[in-house]
Structure formats: structure tokens, C-alpha cells
Amino acid sequence: MIRENEYKQRRDCLLNKLSNNSIAIVFSATNKTRSNDTQYPYRQDSSLYYLTGFKEDNSALVLIKYKNKTKSILFVQKKDKNLELWTGKRLGIKKAKQKFKIDEIYESENLKSKLKEFLKDKKSLYCDLNSGHKKIKKVLQYAKSIENHKNISLLVGQMRLIKSENEIKLIKKAIGITANAHHYAMSSKKIGKKEYELQAEIEYIFKRSGAFSDAYTSIIACGNSANTLHYINNNKILVNNELILIDAGCEYDYYASDITRTIPVNGKFSEAQAEIYQLVLDTQIEIIKNIKPGVNRTKLQSLAELLLTRGMVKLGILHGSVKKLIKNNVHKKYYPHGIGHWMGIDVHDQAPYLDNKEKEIPLASGMVLTIEPGLYINKDDKRVPKKYRGIGIRIEDDILVTKYGNKNLSSAIVKRINEIEKLSQV
């Protein structure tokens, strides 16, 4: 659990990054209609949550930096017994003042008039210029005298790159729940089930364990379906002698996990499946060994491409010089994506990969990223030996960069062939 002192420290850190005589505005996420008067489950804007821990809609955070002082202001919905009957209790101003270490708190209906007041004589405005939020457009209309418009998402994203101890604890909690779900999938009887049945069982474990949201839509891809990278139909039968690629992770108290395991439906890898799987696993293990402060992600990407291409040549999937195959991007047919991404409040965390000078940001202690090499061989690819066609494999873990190296936060989730097969026989 993250306490108010940490949220205040984040706001103070952001205020320190603002230029003098400036104002920053972060709006809550808007409710999204599914159909008619039915809405999707609400999830707070990640940046607003990161800075406040506040989960209600129709809210906003305003930060003002003068030459010699700063001010923080929060707008919250007023108490309304009639609406609360339908949508649940609201915090309201009185309790918000007790909860938050914020200078001023107003009701959301006063936002327009207060913003016009706050924007007067300010030189710089920080907001999410790329969000498309309707309120951003209105703010820009009020801020005609503003000289500079800056994207606050970049500043908040830079802060979100380095996780605190409390954030790491929440990520570990999410991963622990996800581990139980993946281990259940390995040990359960699967032949003849539908992909969505296994998905339901995995997500039941998430919710039963207190993770009420999935970090993303689960991918349960049997056989050739695994060669569609974002396959989410999850409606085919789990067929004997095929593999299942399971990319599923939960979100615990707004913090994500992102795990992929590829397992045999019948609990036993065939010889061809094991050959491809071991190549991907060996690559992942080697990449993780290379993670430490100062290393660039592009180096990890290049190493993954080298190892996978070298392995594909050895297996007869590709032919020719490894160096030339990579130069001509031939390997990308079978490994088309990146080695991983930042992870935190969002499964693909809103944090930059390049600094203000467009140079790559090297790994640093406290960063969390996924490492997920894979190989995807379509069943209709006649250039590949027949025994490998239709095999799609990805292995993904969540890695914390530490002072002297790294820690695999998801190392408890088995992934070696003998471990998976042993668990499958339970």
C-alpha cells in the first residue's frame, strides 16, 4: 500500500521540475459508455493516480509554481446522495481534506472558474497535449495568454521510470497472484477444453486473490493461434499434442504483472516443440544475465536477435550468414517484436525510452521491464521444416534492475521444460 506521504513526495518532485510562473493540470479519466446507459468499469488516469492515489472520476489535480512558492489543488466531486445511490459513495471535500496533504480542495463544479483564475499571468502550461481529453481543449481556450505549452506526460513518465519500494511490493504481489494462475494452467487437464474456459479459470484465480482487474486482455492461444501476436479471440479447442501460449497477468491495486508461458496441452513437449522452446528459453536467460545499470535496451534487442537467428540457422529454419540475415531483417519474419517494455501502473508503462536530447535512456536501478523473446512459425510456411510449422512460443518475465545487476521478480513461475512437464503430471 502506498501512503499519502509518498504521493505528496511525487507531487513535490513534479513541482520542482516545473518552470517558474507555471501551472500543471492533470485530469481524471472519463467514464466510457459501453452501450446506452451501461458503462465500462472505471479506471483512474494512471498519471493522476500516480500523483494522488485518488480513484474517483470527474476530478483534477492542479499544481502551480510561482517564483518563490508552490501550490497544489485538488478538485473532487461533491457529495450527492441521489447519485451515490446508483454509483457508490464519494469522498467529498470534507474527507478529502482529511486524507490528502494538499493546499486547497474544491468541488469539481468550480473547476472552470478556478482554472480561469489560476491561468492568469502564467507563462507556461503543462498538460497532456496528446490525450484528446475534452477538458484539455477547453483549458487551451482559457490559456490564450500562455507563452509555452508543455507535455506533462513526459515529466511524470520520467518519474515513473524508477519504482519505489512500495511500488515494487505491489508489483511483486501482482506477480505472485499471476504465478498461481499460470501454475494452475500448467497442472490442470486441458485436452478438449475451449481456450476461453482456461482463460476463465486463470482470471478466476486473479479475482479470488484480490486482483479485481486484468492488466490486459488475456491471450490463450493454442497451436497456430499463437502466431497471431495479439490473439484474443480465445475461442478454439485445446488440441492434444499442441502448445498453448498463455500471456496473462493481473493488476493489483493499480500495479501490473505481465507474464507469458508456453506449455503443452497434454503436458509433454514433442521433440520439435522442445527444440524451439529451448532456443527461446536459452535466449531469454542470456538476455536477463546482461541486465544491469548502464545497459541500453537496444543492446538487449540486438543480442536477442543474434541468438535467435543463430539458433534458427542451426535448426534449418533460416539459411545463410547470420550477419547477413540480420542485416536484411530476414529474422523478423519469425521474431517481429521488441525484447520488452517498461512496466508499472500500466502494463506498458507510460515512461520514455529516450531522454530530452533524443538519446536512449540506459537501464538504472529501480526500473522494471519485461523480457519476452519469442519465435512464431506459421503452419503454412513451407520454407520451414514441416515439424516446426504451426509452433508459436514466447516466454516473458518481469525484471527489476538492481544496483549491481537485476532480479527476476517472476522467477518462481516455472519455465524449464522438465519443470513444466513435472507440474503437468501432478
Rg (CA), the chain: 24
Beta bridge partners of 371: 397
Of these residues, 57, 167, 195, 372, which one is catalytic? 372
Q: In the annotation, is 372 catalytic?
A: yes
Q: In the annotation, is 183 catalytic?
A: no
Of these residues, 3, 34, 37, 404, which one is catalytic? 37
Q: In the annotation, is 247 catalytic?
A: yes
Of these residues, 49, 341, 388, 397, which one is catalytic? 341
User: What's the angle, vertex CA 301, arms to CA 335 and CA 285, rounded to 5?
Assistant: 85
Q: In the annotation, is 319 catalytic?
A: no
376 is written with which cell numbers?
Answer: 512464431
Of these residues, 45, 396, 397, 398, which one is catalytic? 396
Dist. CA 42–CA 45, nearest whole Å: 10
Other CB atoms within 10 A of residue 335 CB: 20
Of these residues, 56, 376, 388, 397, which one is catalytic? 376
Of these residues, 196, 348, 353, 381, which one is catalytic? 348
What is the residue-wise DSSP string for 4-54? HHHHHHHHHHHHHHSPSSEEEEEEPPPP-EEETTEEPPP---HHHHHHH--
Helices 152-160 and 4-17: angle between axes, nearest 10 degrees:
130
Q: CB under 8 Å to 188, separation ≥6 — which residues?
A: 198, 201
Of these residues, 254, 394, 397, 398, which one is catalytic? 394
Of these residues, 43, 310, 337, 389, which one is catalytic? 337
Query: How many helices (H) and strands (E) in the chain?
Result: 13, 19
Q: In the annotation, is 133 catalytic?
A: no
Q: In the annotation, is 103 catalytic?
A: no
Of these residues, 3, 230, 358, 404, which one is catalytic? 230
Q: In the annotation, is 142 catalytic?
A: no
Q: In the annotation, is 230 catalytic?
A: yes
147 is written with which cell numbers?
Answer: 507563452
Q: How far is CA 284 from the centre of its chain?
A: 19
Single out the residue of 21, 195, 221 nearest to residue 119, CA to CA.
Answer: 21
Residue type, 42: Y
Q: In the annotation, is 396 catalytic?
A: yes
Tell me the catalytic residues: 37, 230, 247, 258, 337, 341, 348, 372, 376, 394, 396
